[in-house]
Amino acid sequence: MNTSEYEQENFLAGVEGRLSEERRKHARKPFFMVVDYATKGRTYKDFIQNISSGGVFIETRMPLYAGQKLAMSFPLPNCKKHVKITGKIVRTNVQGIGVKFLLMEQIGKRLDLHELKMTHQDTIVTTKEEKKMARIRKRKVRWNPSSASGVKGYKLYWAVGKEVNYDCDFAELGDVTEVTLPDDVPTFPIVAGDMELGVVAVDHIGNESDMTKLSAPFDFTAPEAPTGLSVETV
């Protein structure tokens, strides 16, 4: 307040310039893509609305808060690869959450929005397990849609070797009535044994219906690979 009007104008111009530069560094692009993310032991499935070199905006009605850290996974367009990266919620509103990429902050790299790939393979990595995983028989789970009005989507709960309930692990599925396991639920356990599944309908404010349950044997394990492969001239 003790500076001259000329100095104040120069200061404000400099601040505006820095803000404009920061906005240019993190220009947003529309990027409507499903995202699986986990925080505090819970998993969710929602949609990314836009993406920048520094983060994403996820449309969600889940009760999340600024400062909460997430582990995210989402597919790249036009290919089967998934991006896996950690982030921190930096803002929330009624539409969803703004998430800042944490690993980029640590190594100072940027997302190339033209190619949607990273300039450093440690920042966002493709799921190498997809290439190494043996071929396993997948399981398709289906259910009839809820007849109630206001249903936004469904949740899948699961429990291994015990009765499933609302305290068990779960995944947000969105407005679908079937999933292929384990492909559509990245956090689903890759195990063998009896498992109980439960599906609930979720309304727009997060209320959940009674749980429809099913018990079934699962086996997502594979036999050990043969060894000693060789070629001989005879």
Q: What is the pLDDT of residues 171-207, one digit of tens each?
A: 888 889 999 988 888 778 877 888 999 999 999 888 9
Read off the pLDDT of residues 129-146 as tens digits, 9 standing for 90 and up: 343 446 778 889 999 999
Q: Which amino acid is at 234?
A: V
pLDDT higher than threshold 80 for residue 103: no
Tokens describing residue 169: 């692990």
Q: Do residues 170 and 43 lie in contact, with contact meaning Cβ atoms separated by under 8 Å? A: yes
Taking the C-alpha atoms of residue 63 and residue 6, their distance in angstroms, rounded to an integer, is 47
Q: What domains lie within the chain, and their CATH numbers?
A: 25-129 (2.40.10.220), 133-219 (2.60.40.10)
Highest-confidence range of 24-28, 39-43, 60-64, 165-169, by mean pLDDT?
Answer: 165-169
pLDDT higher than threshold 90 for residue 16: no
Taking the C-alpha atoms of residue 35 and residue 73, their distance in angstroms, rounded to an integer, is 6
Count of helix runs (H) and strand runs (E) in the chain: 3, 14
Measure Cα distances from 41 to 101, 169, 224 in Å. Answer: 19, 8, 31
pTM listed for this prediction: 0.46
